[in-house]
Amino acid sequence: MLSEYGVTLERLTADHADALLAFERENRSYFALSIADRGDEFFEHFAEILDARLVEQAEGVCQFHVLVEPSGAVVGRVNLVDVEDRSAELGYRLAERVTGRGLATAAVRAIVRIAASDYALKQLTAGAARANVASWTVLERTGFQRIAETEGPRPQVAYELSLEGL
């Protein structure tokens, strides 16, 4: 699906477990620069957490996706969470080694199409740390509109995107 970047966007399965855990471990400190750290418990209980996420996916509460290289390595996640009333929240993260090439923008564009066509969603919301200019640039390039900013220890910028007509 994203062959120009040498990756495919795949729906998360249990088969991705080892590669997904490696991705999260390898990029933990990089992710912590812009979002809250998952904490040691996430890594200690990864198998149980993944199982719970796959149950949520089977129930339609969330739709999880990974960006996978031909080697099987996971280099990104693109998720639709809290699916309700034909709406969901978009979340994504890419490995540090693949950033700056347009992959995040391409992945968000792809998940927007999937959200509209495969999951029949009508609206997406997203948030990005106010200091994470790269993330809000991706959201704005893919049609999301800035709707609010929040204060606090990690100030956020909130976005939304209507999928009507896609």
Under-70 pLDDT residues of the chain: 1
Q: What is the pLDDT of residue 1?
A: 67
Sign of the Cα torsion 65, 69, 74, 76 reads negative
Domains and CATH numbers, the chain: 3-162 (3.40.630.30)
Q: What is the pLDDT of residue 18?
A: 96
Q: What is the pLDDT of residue 78?
A: 97
Q: What is the pLDDT of residue 36?
A: 75
Q: 36 burial class (0-12, 13-18, 19+ CB within 10 angstroms)?
A: exposed
